[in-house]
């Protein structure tokens, strides 16, 4: 998505494109006096902020191109969650979320934006990080990419524990985001940082279906759940095994919602890669999942996943429950009893079958939650349980911070 100017005195749809970057433009602000324009570009998950000061506030293509563009230097790779300009355009206010600090308010002085094309970095004006953990104790992820099965590049964020080395190989958890139309970005995750502190790495890829890489890539997931994206995840496991600081026998997998479905797909259809898994509110049976969604979702579900009657054969073939007898990895399943999107039966049929087969499975049900966690105590309990499960299965008893 680019940045375009619509001329109200022209015919409908008469747009003049002002900026056409190869990445999505996520936010645009124009000062009230019309003299300063600012916009945010999502470049491979990282926010970049650009500013132009327009001569006499003339908002047309010629004036736009004549105004120098200035990029605001960020303190660290992160995500600009909100952007606002003062009425006179002399100052911008930003909400920035970084991997080592949750969202804080920053200000940027824009008065000097001009031909010099230089501007000072944002200044942090709030400090809401409860616990005040020193930033140097936290881990900044590395942007990485790998080539998947059909030649496409898959990007992601790799978090390496501080003590990891070829001489001290460590376990890694493959974290699969929900959606699936969402994007893993370098924002603060207490869960990731806790695992890293304990000596467990994280790899969070943006497999096909993710946003931020164009509509064609995003729509590859449509009616292909458990198809191409599962192959992407298999390649991700092989990528991790190729790293000299990763213990190839201690790779876990984790995800919620669609990420939970993908986690169950991984351990049931690619069982050779995983030493432990945590699934949060993930569908296990695409037929019952498609049948149980709210009525307002049914047309969308048929386009997105498949129709439970017309596409029953496809949905059965792509369902993790179909391959439950292949699961070898210990599994923790977390579910909300009141979930309207992924009914509790999705978790409970998987848990029941695994118990019948004598496989190792733990089940944590929250009676007062739905699709995710609205209560802080439940959120803490769920992610503490997930972290402790990975510690037991990937590190063993007595393991210390890594």
Collapse the DSSP code of 225 into the 3-class scheme (helix H, G, I; strand E, B; otherwise coil) and give the result: coil
Is residue 6 among the annotated active site residues? no
Residue 171 near residue 254, CB atoms below 8 Å: no
Other beta carbons less than 10 A from residue 134's beta carbon: 7
Residue with tokens 């498609």, as numbered in its chain: 290
**Which tokens go with 170?**
């460590």
Q: Which helix (H) or strand (E) holds 303?
A: helix 298-304
Q: Which residue out of 177, 197, 343, 371 is catalytically annotated?
A: 371
Q: Which residue out of 47, 155, 210, 257 is catalytically annotated?
A: 257
Pick the closest to residue 202 from 142, 278, 152, 120 (CA basis): 142
Long-range contacts of 239-243 (CB under 8 A, 24+ apart): 239/146, 239/203, 240/172, 240/174, 240/203, 241/273
**Which tokens go with 19?**
């900026």
d(CA 25, CA 361): 44
For residue 370, how many C-alpha atoms fall within 13 Å in the half-sphere facing its CB?
5
Collapse the DSSP code of 115 into the 3-class scheme (helix H, G, I; strand E, B; otherwise coil) and give the result: coil
Is residue 189 among the annotated active site residues? no
* Sign of the C-alpha dihedral computed for residues 207, 254, 47 and 82 taken in this order: positive
Rounded CA Rg of the chain: 23
Residue 274 near residue 329, CB atoms below 8 Å: yes
Is residue 371 among the annotated active site residues? yes
**Which tokens go with 379?**
């959120």
Q: Which residue out of 247, 279, 311, 339 is catalytically annotated?
A: 339
Q: What are phi and psi of 26, to 5 degrees?
A: -100, -25
- Positions marked catalytic: 257, 339, 371
């Amino acid at each position: 998505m680019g940045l375009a100017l619509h001329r109200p005195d022209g015919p409908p749809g008469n747009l003049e494109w002002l900026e056409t970057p190869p990445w999505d433009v996520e936010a645009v602000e124009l000062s009230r006096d019309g003299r300063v324009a600012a916009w945010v570009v999502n470049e491979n998950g990282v926010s970049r902020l650009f500013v132009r000061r327009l001569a006499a506030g003339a908002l047309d293509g010629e004036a736009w191109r004549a105004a120098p563009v200035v990029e605001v230097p960020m303190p660290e790779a992160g995500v600009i969650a909100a952007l606002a300009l003062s009425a006179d355009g002399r100052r911008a206010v930003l909400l920035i979320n970084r991997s080592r600090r949750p969202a804080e308010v920053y200000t940027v002085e824009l008065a000097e934006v001009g031909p010099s094309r230089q501007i000072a970095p944002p200044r942090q004006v709030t400090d809401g990080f409860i616990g005040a953990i020193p930033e140097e104790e936290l881990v900044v992820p590395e942007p990485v990419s790998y080539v998947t099965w059909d030649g496409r590049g898959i990007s992601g964020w790799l978090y390496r524990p501080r003590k990891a080395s070829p001489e001290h190989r460590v376990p890694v958890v493959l974290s699969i985001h929900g959606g699936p139309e969402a994007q893993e970005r370098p924002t603060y995750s207490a869960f990731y940082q806790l695992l890293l502190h304990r000596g467990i790495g994280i790899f969070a890829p943006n497999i096909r279906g993710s946003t931020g890489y164009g509509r064609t890539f995003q729509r590859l997931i449509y009616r292909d759940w458990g198809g191409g994206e599962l192959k992407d995840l298999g390649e991700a496991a092989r990528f991790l095994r190729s790293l000299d600081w990763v213990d190839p026998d201690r790779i876990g997998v984790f995800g919620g919602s669609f990420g939970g479905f993908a986690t169950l797909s991984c351990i049931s259809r690619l069982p050779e890669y995983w030493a432990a898994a945590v699934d949060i509110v993930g569908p296990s049976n695409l037929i019952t999942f498609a049948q149980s969604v709210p009525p307002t979702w049914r047309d969308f579900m048929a386009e997105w996943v498949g129709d439970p009657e017309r596409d029953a054969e496809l949905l059965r073939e792509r369902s993790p429950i179909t391959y439950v007898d292949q699961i070898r990895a210990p599994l923790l399943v977390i579910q909300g009893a009141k979930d309207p999107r992924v009914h509790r039966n999705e978790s409970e049929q998987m848990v029941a079958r695994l118990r019948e087969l004598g496989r190792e499975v733990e089940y944590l049900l929250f009676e007062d939650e739905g699709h995710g966690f609205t209560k802080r105590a439940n959120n803490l309990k769920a992610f503490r349980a997930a972290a402790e499960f990975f510690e037991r299965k990937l590190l063993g008893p007595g393991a210390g911070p890594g």
